Amino acid sequence: MNPIGKANEITAPFGVLGCKQFREGIFSKHLPLCIALAHQYKREALKSSYIEANRQLLQCDQFLTIGSKAIGLSIYSDDDEVRAFAELKADAFRRKYVESFHRARVPGTKNVFAIKSCIKELAIYGLSFPCRNWRVANDDQIKQAAARVFDQQWWRRQIRQLQGVLLETMNRQLGLVNKEMGIYASNFLVQRYREAKRRNANLMSLVEMENDLGETATLQELNESSVSNPVNRRNEFMVRVVGFEEIAKECGDVGVFITLTAPSKYHAYLSNPCRRNTKFAGYSVKETQTYLNNVWKRSRASLSRLRIKPYGFRIVEPHHDGTPHWHMLFFVKPHQIEALTSTLSRYALQEDGDEKGASEHRLKVEEIDPSKGSAAGYIAKYVSKNIDGFGVPFDNYGNDAASSAERIVAWASTHGIRQFQQIGGVSVTVYRELRRLNGHVPQSVKELLGDDLEKFEQVTECADKGDWGGYTRLMGGVDVKRKEQFLRICYFIKEECGKYSQPLKKLVGVVVSQVSTVLTRLRTWVVKSIRKPSTIVCQKVAKIDGNETIESSAPWSSVNNCTIW
């Protein structure tokens, strides 16, 4: 039986004669989800009535359509349809608003009416005006935002991202994201992520770059040498953890491992047993992440008033149903632990703090005992299982860690989740720039720095050796303000403007003691050639009997989606 027939069979006992035609029309539009939609319909019909089930099915149909029914785009639309839609909308907005945006009623002021109208129309498609604080923005910023709205590439990027988020949000609500159906992320999302990753790798392998010394490399090779490479990313993160732990020992600080979880209403599925959470209020992954972030913001402000400045790291990972939670490794003075935990607990329990299990599960605190192991060893498994699964056999649910890591990265990429964030400490960007020097300070730099030379050589050596603790001390310590750090990032403002008339800045080096500039990007890379995509044979991954097999397919088109040139 085909999927629509199966969906019709599930929902057949409910409703009147016209309901079948109504349901079948929606099922045919959402073929990948029609059976899940049918089960959702059945549950609601049994719980309430077929009328309520019809209403919810219609809401799902509208949610899975970008824009209104008459002019909208399906969430399953392929790349060609997205391109055509983006071109149409960009042209329509340009014709409608270009005059208004460039002709204000009073010279030097914004045309507020045109902006409000544009914002309202963009909202129909689930998009936001690309200038958050437009009321206080100047004319140039408004024109740059308008240029994006009038550009079909901007529309394509926004729609592609929106497609992934909306579809995964619906998958989560329909019960397709949990440890039984698809842990952390739906199987559809993981497949989509793999295809996008493979496509990007193929495209980058076509681009050959050349520097001013005549050295060549593909864009993919250059990408693999950066922190985009999971191995490099994991190694650098662990170096920073070890460095902070060394500083903590020197300062007499202690480590605290904290887990912060959202209230029950943010969780779509329970874990043990795996079943629907009746308290779930439909919150998305992004909304849950915003809630956790707000808890931390309020806690941090309160701690600052108490003159408590923890330093360490925050890791975001999903529960089995895709609901985010936070792990935090902080170092503080021993007498500050109680204030730290009580402050976090107060804000974590502000919302639904009286619900069953809140005091036990909302905030978990564990002091790290050096006699049992180091902080680096404690957090290593959390870092690994959220990047590539290296050195970790299984995740918390008994699944292969490497496979789970791929699903977690796909989840974070789709929902725009920043997995790792440093709390306190000094700039990691400066650290990465110094490592470009490979421990060598050019003679021209030595002559330039004068009294700062010795300290600059020391901090460069620490960065080259991966000594995050020594680097942090020389930069000013974990509590130093950004503007008072020994080294700061230096940007060069280009003469030419970007595609949207925005000023372009290029990271070129570091500023020493807010006076001297040291260039760290000594090589200039340009595109040497772009091979034809026909030389690369695309591959499709199909699952047969649970095993992945690779099938050859037609070559990619000559259209290049990269935006680096």
Q: Tell me which residues are annotated as active site.
A: 378, 382
Which residue is it, tokens 């760290």?
A: 520
Q: Is the peptide bond before 273 cis (omega within 30 degrees of 0)?
A: yes
Which residue is it, tokens 């330039």?
A: 448
Contact 356, 365 (CB under 8 A): no
For 201-270, the three-class secondary structure string (H helix, E strand, C coil) is: HHHHHHEEEECCCCCEEEHHHHHHCCCCCHHHHHHHHHHHHHHHHHHHHHHCCEEEEEEECCCHHHCCEE
Q: What residue type is assigned to position 488 of the chain?
A: R
Residue 544, burial from CB neighbour count under 10 angstroms (0-12, 13-18, 19+): exposed
> Would you state the torsion angle of the CA atoms of residues 356, 357, 363, 369, taken in this order, to the nearest 10 degrees?
160
Closest Cα partner for 133 from 121, 144, 142? 142
* Measured distance CA(52)–CA(41) in Å, rounded: 9
Q: 34: part of which helix (H) or strand (E)?
A: helix 34-47
Q: What residue type is assigned to position 6 of the chain?
A: K
What 3-state class would DSSP assign to 549?
A: strand
* Measured distance CA(224)–CA(236) in Å, rounded: 14
212: its two tokens: 């001013």
Closest Cα partner for 167 from 415, 398, 385? 415
